[in-house]
Structure 1
């Protein structure tokens, strides 16, 4: 594989956890791909959770953080800021709005694990006024105005104060946004190479962050940036308001062809639009024969409403009536689990359904399955579909925007109309009872998946970097 241009590669995202789904996995794989081809990556996050050191060890143990990939978190950096050169700091006075008045009362929520505490005005029973963020030793490293009932990133124009371990004020910022930009500039200054940022974060308030810090950036548009009730498929209306102004990023990168088609229908010219599919890394050393897979059906998914796992259970139930030795294995966890377990009991298929919970290596389970079910409301790409096909599990999916139709066809699986349980159930029965058909589809699925390689993805990213850097400013976009 050829190398990317020699740049300081930074991925910008909101937060990462070990239980997050395909969007996060795809980003981690991309970082691994870049790093293993000579282009180190810093993955930057801005949420207050101080568990990224431990999380880094988790990703390393799973092979997704090789040498050359680091996670940089703004809170972890500032909680240990004593090592930073203070002469580079913004040395303005502490915002008076952050001085806690006498008589305010302090409270800690157990769910915050000793990393936050809140200050309430006397007599106030509902909303707190200040939030303090704590180091592991209990000392305060940050104080800001509270944002009750909203995300940490909401109301970014709240002042921020940073304190050393002795409680002495050291840094002051008039807003969270000023704080983020200062941190971004600090990261950029650590390397002489020109920075190139790939933004995976969706909130509009971050779109201009890296441009304000002096870095070129491109925006990766995931499905989470879309919605279902738009005239133009699922592209969020907010993109119109962003792009009609001075665009803060050099290019838009989209993982599927059909999403790009709808983007162009909505926003116009092709300038700055690139399609870069995700790629598979879970290639089995040996594909088990059909007999070894038995009548095993697989779901690998977060158990959340948008994944509609209840639809997959109903599809399986339809097939189980004709194939009584079939077993559905569900790998994943989430708030819908108890509801789904109850549904299995109501339908009367408890003896044929196994809930495994979250599986760190759920993708490897596909090689044990004859078929895999995909019933999401929508898929930006559908990384698990690709993993299923690479492992020879025949995919049966609802034909929703955008990813399934880019991988599945009549030669390697089944695309059925959205919410058509009866048709999907019939398709599953065919795969379970017809060995010749299942073998043909399985072999074709593996062959189709083989085109989604890291080499092809890296070549596409090289084109993105080289082309986007030829545009000196966002004014050269020709979308309006």
Structure 2
């Protein structure tokens, strides 16, 4: 049986476009007769508990073999070590405590007899301790350590904070059995450096690695080489590096999939290539192919990545299940939709401002915001300031996306940048057109103006005009029909066929994933 290994930095339940694409591919591989091995390469704990639940829910195949790079089986140490739980020391000094919580969990804060803040414990909604913060006695407002626990209450990571920036600047990571795996320094931008790995006993010398990736590769190599002639796929920039360097991996080939943009505008306003691309060279190490989600990016990467050409660098679109019996939207519901992560680059604030303008003309409209993220509270405050809170509902994260596309007349995608925008084709498959702003990767490829959506200027006025246009001259019916007519290009069958050809299999399209 041929083996395909999938590298992922971490696993979880809140699935964005990248994670959905990987989980879908695992099902395709399993259904097509491949042995599937999922390797979690980041320092994540509770991996087996998480993947067991993902299997139970059918999100990943039951037959998937799970390997966690930093779990007990693969860490360098084997002897149990005693870890000092620093949080116990401040609790001995505790004179007062304050507990408060919500449906997401609870926090207990501790104070000494003089009212100085000592630290806190944070618990999940299931009552499992997630982390403890320890504050400096001499400066109670400053955090000095954060201790992270797994679901069994074992210490898995300790972060040491810088008093000036309130950011972690050093960390130590432990295995399931409490053995120290590594320590490293952390830069202000979060990257790890000066990485030191620890061996089987305290008597042996530590190992200095040239980078965090080199340490990961050292742990990864024996796992990959235990499956000779396998294919290894990576969808994240930091794990494609394993395939492009000569780490001694013994596999048939390595495939790197780039889901994000490869360029950005720097502080000087110049369009520049992201630095991590300099680490990639095709036909070096085991990297034999580079895939992208869109045609334009594949063409551009052939001029950027060493060794890239039309034979080894090409696009593989995301795929969705299409329904030929689904009818276009006949009548407007008056509901608009944003579905996705609530982060600054998604520019949901622009959607809110454009929607607020459109309400002056079409006061009956409503906006559903489905998703979560770091700027949710800011967006809720903006809706209040725009006096549109009665017309906007924040629903949080959901797995059932199809329901929302079918309720909505139209969805928005106005990001600063996109690698593809899976939500676009999910919407088209449900007859839901999109209002998009200029974005050369994804929206510019998928949305054809006045056919399956509307292209608008990236201003509140542009968004507002597009919304008003949607409800004039029976345009909604036309765009909904266009959505269903054009989504066939992104059908699951086509996606399946292309992947099986890449992996050297003759596609059997009778079985659709």
TM-score bracket for this pair, using the shorter chain length: 0.7 to 0.9
Contact in 2 for aligned 1:8/1:40 (Cα 8 Å): yes
Which has the larger share of strand? 2
Q: Secondary structure at the match of 2:185?
A: coil
Contact in 2 for aligned 1:181/1:212 (Cα 8 Å): no
How far 1:318 moved relative to its partner?
Answer: 2.2
Moved more, 27-36 or 105-114: 105-114
Partner of 1:107: 86
Partner of 1:33: 28
How far 1:295 moved relative to its partner?
Answer: 0.6
Provide the rounded CA distance (Å) in 2 between the counterparts of 1:374 and 1:237. Answer: 27
How far 1:231 moved relative to its partner?
Answer: 9.8
Question: Which residue of the other structure, out of 290, 311, 317, is the alignment partner of 1:252?
Answer: 290
Gaps of 5+ in 2: 88-130, 133-145, 161-165, 506-513
Question: Which residue of the other structure, out of 50, 59, 64, is the alignment partner of 1:64?
Answer: 59
Gaps of 5+ in 1: 1-5, 82-88, 468-480
Q: 1:414 to 1:63 in 2, by over 3 A?
A: farther
How far 1:403 moved relative to its partner?
Answer: 0.4
Alignment of 1:12-411 (within 5 A): 12-78=7-73, 107=86, 110=132, 112-113=148-149, 114-116=154-156, 118=158, 131-133=172-174, 135=176, 139-149=177-187, 154-155=192-193, 157-161=195-199, 175=209, 180-191=216-227, 194-203=229-238, 206-208=242-244, 212-215=248-251, 216-223=253-260, 225-229=262-266, 235-240=273-278, 242-243=280-281, 246=284, 249-267=287-305, 269-281=309-321, 289-291=329-331, 294-410=333-449, 411=451
How far 1:389 moved relative to its partner?
Answer: 1.0
Alignment deviations for residues 157-199 of structure 1 (CA, whole Å, 9 cap, x no partner): 4223357xxxx9999765465653454343335445x111111
How far 1:281 moved relative to its partner?
Answer: 3.8
Contact in 1 for aligned 2:156/2:175 (Cα 8 Å): yes
How far 1:363 moved relative to its partner?
Answer: 4.2
Q: Number of residues paired by the alignment?
A: 430
How far 1:132 moved relative to its partner?
Answer: 4.3
Partner of 1:437: 475
Q: 1:397 to 1:445 in 2, by over 3 A?
A: same
Moved more, 255-264 or 154-163: 154-163
Q: 1:387 to 1:169 in 2, by over 3 A?
A: farther
Alignment deviations for residues 320-346 of structure 1 (CA, whole Å, 9 cap, x no partner): 221111110001111101110111111
Q: 1:25 to 1:284 in 2, by over 3 A?
A: farther
Partner of 2:99: none
Q: 1:446 to 1:157 in 2, by over 3 A?
A: same
How far 1:264 moved relative to its partner?
Answer: 2.9
Alignment deviations for residues 256-288 of structure 1 (CA, whole Å, 9 cap, x no partner): 011112223445743411211111147598568
Alignment deviations for residues 294-322 of structure 1 (CA, whole Å, 9 cap, x no partner): 11101111111111111111221222221
Contact in 2 for aligned 1:344/1:350 (Cα 8 Å): yes
Contact in 1 for aligned 2:155/2:178 (Cα 8 Å): no
C-alpha root-mean-square deviation of aligned residues, in Å? 3.7
Provide the rounded CA distance (Å) in 1 between the counterparts of 2:226 and 2:311. Answer: 32
Could you tell me the TM-score, scaled by structure 1's length? 0.78
How far 1:152 moved relative to its partner?
Answer: 8.5
Partner of 1:476: none
Partner of 1:423: 462
Which has the larger share of helix? 1
Contact in 2 for aligned 1:107/1:119 (Cα 8 Å): no
Alignment deviations for residues 47-100 of structure 1 (CA, whole Å, 9 cap, x no partner): 222222332244335533123334421123537x7xxxxxxx899xx9xxxx99
Contact in 2 for aligned 1:202/1:224 (Cα 8 Å): no
**Higher RCO (CA 8 Å, separation ≥ 6 residues):** 1
How far 1:210 moved relative to its partner?
Answer: 7.9
Moved more, 383-392 or 443-452: 443-452
Alignment deviations for residues 407-446 of structure 1 (CA, whole Å, 9 cap, x no partner): 11031111223x1332332221222354x22111101102
How far 1:249 moved relative to its partner?
Answer: 1.1
Moved more, 154-163 or 447-456: 154-163
Q: Secondary structure at the match of 1:161?
A: coil
Q: 1:272 to 1:240 in 2, by over 3 A?
A: same
